[in-house]
Structure 1
Amino acid sequence: MNLLLNLVWIIFGGGLVLCLEYLLGGLVLCLTLVGIPFGVQCFKMAGLALMPFGKDIEDLPSAGAMSFGLNIVWALFAGIWIFLTNVVIGVSLALTIIGIPFALQHLKLGMVAFAPFGKRIRG
């Protein structure tokens, strides 16, 4: 079932476009030495954006002050906007019964996009 939902997500849910956007953002960020940690997080989110069904997000217990600081920088410059975009899309999809599974995936993407450091994607 997850495979079918992921295929529908890629075609109709915008998964391919989201993945390409995160990959492009990650490549641009990795051009600078300072941007490499943020680019790696973009690559992690690209994988989740392409096929989100069947994947879970877990907080790493070993994430410390460095992850917290990087999450603050990320949230200020990009995370809040990506989070709000995913929430708006998720709420609009939740208005239809067919869109509810996709709305939940957008909310999952939004949670990772707000603070990606110190999180692992399982699945």
Structure 2
Amino acid sequence: MKTILNIIWLVLSGLWMAIGYVVAGIICCILIITIPFGIASFRMANYALWPFGRTVVRKPESGAMSTIGNVIWIIVAGIWLAIGHLTTGIAMCLTIIGIPLGIASFKMIPISLMPLGAQIVSTDNPQQVYQGSY
């Protein structure tokens, strides 16, 4: 079932949202100081392509620097990506078949706003972040 949902997601919104994340990542990688934002953006692009079967887990050891980075990210690119997820989520929820996809789009809004200090893991083993497996 996850594969079918991922394929439908990829066609309807995953590809377009991933392109948005890749563009944000390329822009962030232009300057040396914003390379961590670019890496996080590329990681989220991968998640935006194939989200079903994966989840986001917050790292407990992330500190003040990730909070400051997330505030900068929200201003630079996060708000626009969150608006993209909100728009696609509303559009998908207009049909009964698209409701699970819309909900998945809404669930991606927090990670699009605050990517630093989070890790994307498989839903089969969401505790792998605490076992040191990155």
TM-score under structure 2 length normalisation: 0.83
Pair 1:63 & 2:62 matched:
yes
Match of 1:4 in 2: 4
Where do 1:1-123 residues align within 5 Å?
1-11=1-11, 13-123=12-122
Can you give the 5+ residue segments of structure 2 that lack an aligned partner in the other structure?
123-134
How much has 1:91 moved relative to structure 2?
Answer: 2.4
Matched AA of 2:7: L
How much has 1:85 moved relative to structure 2?
Answer: 2.6
Matches of 2:30 and 2:80, distance apart in 1 = 22
Closer/same/farther in 2, CA of residues 88 and 17 from structure 1, 3 Å limit? closer
Greater Cα offset, 64-73 or 19-28? 19-28
Can you give the 5+ residue segments of structure 1 that lack an aligned partner in the other structure?
none
TM-score under structure 1 length normalisation: 0.90
Q: Provide the aligned C-alpha RMSD in A.
A: 1.4
Is the partner of 1:96 in helix, strand or coil? Answer: coil
Matched AA of 1:7: I
Sequence identity percentage: 36
Matches of 1:39 and 1:82, distance apart in 2 = 14
Q: Is 1:48–1:109's contact at 8 Å kept on the other side of the alignment?
A: no
Matched AA of 2:100: P
Greater Cα offset, 25-34 or 41-50? 25-34
Which portions of structure 1, spanning 4 or more consecutive aligned residues, are displaced by more than 4 angstroms?
A: none
Is the partner of 2:119 in helix, strand or coil? Answer: strand
Residues paired across the two proteins, number? 122
Greater Cα offset, 2-11 or 43-52? 2-11
Is the partner of 2:120 in helix, strand or coil? Answer: strand
Q: Is 2:92–2:102's contact at 8 Å kept on the other side of the alignment?
A: yes
